[in-house]
């Protein structure tokens, strides 16, 4: 949950961007893009596969409307987060060429959807930008409190192997910083941190609306309190890779929230071989947050990586507090 004067500036920019976007739409477009905030099932119905979604697709917008949609997305991501998102979207034609005309999914950089829940600036409202491997979700309450998660980014291919963009890695830091941390562990630490020789086929929490018991039966992994100071620094650098997707003021709040968690309660778990090019998985889990990553599909060249607030995904905590305060 976030509430500060700097976050107020972010909220106002979001309100302005959402209002400008909706104002530029024809009535039939607006009826598709505008969704009911009270429809919690739909508001929490997030995906990272290329399925059809509610909301208005970029393909059904003109050039100016697409520009305004991207401006809205830019209010919810940092510069580096926006660069990641654009790089991920630009992978769609590459993926389409790799799969050929017989591929299962439609691969199209215009198959991304914008949804506005409720009325911007009027009490409770929110917005979503979502398509294959990008899901950005915001909930705003009374122009003061903001819920900025879940934030999901993925990449297929994780590393482009051919063509003019050969070598591009949209989520380079998500993999490399985690590998730096793993490599820094000694044998005893690795025995605890590596919880399985085989990585799961996907993130264990997948696209559940709220993380509940999905990780309860999983091994803890290595606690931050069992790491050296240097290893803890690398662990926090990894967390900041995920937090850094958010605008600076929100990222600062997220880092402050992480800093409140005792090192005994933060756990790093790795599954799969250590060698590059093989399927691997990791998570950084605490009572209040989760960074989860998987790279197993398509010959371990396909990344899924999400940052979640275990108390406030889709603004559930701020909405609960608001409801309690209003009665």
119 & 232 share domain: no
Considering the domain boundaries, does residue 164 fall inside one? Answer: no
- Domain count of the chain? 2
139 & 230 share domain: no
Considering the domain boundaries, does residue 272 fall inside one? Answer: yes
Across the range 201-215, mean pLDDT stands at 97
pLDDT range class, residue 144, cuts 50, 70, 90: confident
134 & 220 share domain: no
106 & 232 share domain: no
Considering the domain boundaries, does residue 318 fall inside one? Answer: no
133 & 176 share domain: no
300 & 236 share domain: yes
Considering the domain boundaries, does residue 320 fall inside one? Answer: no
Q: Is the pLDDT of residue 3 over 60?
A: no
pLDDT range class, residue 103, cuts 50, 70, 90: confident
Domain endpoint, select from 115, 149, 183? 149
131 & 232 share domain: no
Across the range 87-107, mean pLDDT stands at 90
Considering the domain boundaries, does residue 67 fall inside one? Answer: yes
The tens digit of pLDDT for each residue in 233-292 reads 999 999 999 999 999 999 999 999 999 999 999 999 999 999 999 999 999 999 999 999
Give the integer Cα–Cα distance in Å for 118 and 123.
9
128 & 18 share domain: yes
143 & 11 share domain: yes
Domain that holds residue 12: 5-149
106 & 33 share domain: yes
pLDDT attached to residue 123: 87
Quote the mean pLDDT of the chain. Answer: 95
pLDDT attached to residue 2: 61
Kindly report which listed range (35-39, 144-148, 298-302) carries the lowest average pLDDT score: 144-148
Q: Is the pLDDT of residue 325 over 90?
A: no
pLDDT attached to residue 322: 73
- Whole-structure pTM value: 0.96
Considering the domain boundaries, does residue 44 fall inside one? Answer: yes
39 & 136 share domain: yes
């Amino acid at each position: 949950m976030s509430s500060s004067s700097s976050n107020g500036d972010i909220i106002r920019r979001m309100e302005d961007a959402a209002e400008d976007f909706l104002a530029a739409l024809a009535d039939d477009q607006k009826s598709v893009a505008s969704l009911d905030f009270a429809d919690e099932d739909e508001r929490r119905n997030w995906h990272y596969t290329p399925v059809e979604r509610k909301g208005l697709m970029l393909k059904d917008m003109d050039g100016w409307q697409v520009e305004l949609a991207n401006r809205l997305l830019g209010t919810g991501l940092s510069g580096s987060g926006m660069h990641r998102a654009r790089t991920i979207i630009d992978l769609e034609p590459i993926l389409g060429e790799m799969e050929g005309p017989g591929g299962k999914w439609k691969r199209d950089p215009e198959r991304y959807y914008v949804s506005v829940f409720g009325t911007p600036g009027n009490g409770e409202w929110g917005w979503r930008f979502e398509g294959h491997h990008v899901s950005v979700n915001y909930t705003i309450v009374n122009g003061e409190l903001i819920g900025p998660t879940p934030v999901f980014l993925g990449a297929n291919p994780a590393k482009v192997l051919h063509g003019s963009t050969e070598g591009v890695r949209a989520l380079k830091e998500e993999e490399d910083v985690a590998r730096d941390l793993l490599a820094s562990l000694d044998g005893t630490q690795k025995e605890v941190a590596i919880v399985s020789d085989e990585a799961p086929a996907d993130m264990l929490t997948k696209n559940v609306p709220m993380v509940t018991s999905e990780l309860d039966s999983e091994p803890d992994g290595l606690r931050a309190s069992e790491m050296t100071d240097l290893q803890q620094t690398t662990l926090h650098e990894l967390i900041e890779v995920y937090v850094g997707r958010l605008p600076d003021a929100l990222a600062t709040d997220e880092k402050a929230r992480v800093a409140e968690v005792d090192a005994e309660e933060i756990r790093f778990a790795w599954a799969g071989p250590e060698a590059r090019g093989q399927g691997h998985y990791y998570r950084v889990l605490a009572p209040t947050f989760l960074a989860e990553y998987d790279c197993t599909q398509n010959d371990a060249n396909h990344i899924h990586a999400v940052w979640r607030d275990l108390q406030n995904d889709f603004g559930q905590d701020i909405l609960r507090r608001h409801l309690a305060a209003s009665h």
